[in-house]
């Protein structure tokens, strides 16, 4: 990754040193510089966002670490420029982080940043979340301002391990989104969503998070849909055979 981009980078706020450990702070600073330079040049971050990257994006993402258990495997879907997943990997080296993003220009940036910062705990996957359904599961599936909750559940829950949870960053409308998703939550056997704030002791504006586990780890809901589809196909095939005979 080039170091030649000459643009003004945001100054480091004092609170950042309370969020990142001293040995991780240089990584956080370099990543934020890359967002403000390469990220803007490549169209991943709007120019107007560059001066407020720390407050609105980096620190806001970093405090999500409060909601992630130790040594967890984390999947960040629709990660964009690495928010919040890449920031989590910087703040929490105990985590194993997979960044899922369909756009090539974004995954190229992410791969370059991961190599530049030597983040060996991070994997970049180019694709959509649905392409991993039935193939991989994670302790935590996260996202930040990706979609309304019902759609987010459909993308995320098939990636959640039986004992894991969706842990997503949301806005103030989350309670309304939960109510409108009640049917989906019941059908997929999700547990009751929990809404809470993170970063309240360090940020002026804490981040809102929703956590959705499975209701019963032994009876997760999402495989029922494909199994029902297969049963329907088999019934249709048997009916067709009877008609032929």
Q: Is 130 annotated as a binding residue?
A: yes
For residues 222 and 120, what is the distance between their CA atoms, to the nearest angstrom? 31
DSSP H helices, the chain, are 16-19, 25-34, 40-41, 53, 59-62, 85-91, 104-117, 149-156, 174-180, 182-187, 224-244
Residue 44 marked as a ligand binder: no
144 labeled part of a ligand binding site:
yes
Q: Is 83 annotated as a binding residue?
A: yes
Torsion angle in degrees (nearest 10) through CA of 191, 195, 198, 200: -150
For 114, half-sphere exposure in the C-beta direction (CA atoms, 13 angstrom radius) is: 23
Is 149 part of any known ligand binding site? no
Residue 161 — φ and ψ, nearest 5°? -65, 160
Residues in the annotated binding site for S-adenosyl-L-methionine = 78, 83, 129-130, 144
Residues in the annotated binding site = 78, 83, 129-130, 144
């Amino acid at each position: 990754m080039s170091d030649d981009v000459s643009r003004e980078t945001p100054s480091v706020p004092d609170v950042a040193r309370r969020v990142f450990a001293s040995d991780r702070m240089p990584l956080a600073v370099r990543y934020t510089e890359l967002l403000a330079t390469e990220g803007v040049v490549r169209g991943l971050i709007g120019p107007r966002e560059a001066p407020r990257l720390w407050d609105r994006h980096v620190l806001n993402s970093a405090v999500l670490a409060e909601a992630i258990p130790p040594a967890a495997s984390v999947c960040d879907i629709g990660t964009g420029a690495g928010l919040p997943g890449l920031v989590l990997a910087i703040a929490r080296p105990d985590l194993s982080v997979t960044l899922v993003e369909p756009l090539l220009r974004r995954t190229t940036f992410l791969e370059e940043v991961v190599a530049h910062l030597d983040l060996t705990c991070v994997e970049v996957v180019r694709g959509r979340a649905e392409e991993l359904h039935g193939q991989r599961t994670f302790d935590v599936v996260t996202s930040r301002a990706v979609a309304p909750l019902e759609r987010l559940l459909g993308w995320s829950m098939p990636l959640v391990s039986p004992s894991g949870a969706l842990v997503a960053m949301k806005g103030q409308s989350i309670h309304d989104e939960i109510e409108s998703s009640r049917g989906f939550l019941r059908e997929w056997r999700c547990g009751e969503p929990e809404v809470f704030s993170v970063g309240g002791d360090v940020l002026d504006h804490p981040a809102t998070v929703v956590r959705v586990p499975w209701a019963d780890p032994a009876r997760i809901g999402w495989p029922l849909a494909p199994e029902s589809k297969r049963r329907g196909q088999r019934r249709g095939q048997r009916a067709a055979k009877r008609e032929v005979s």
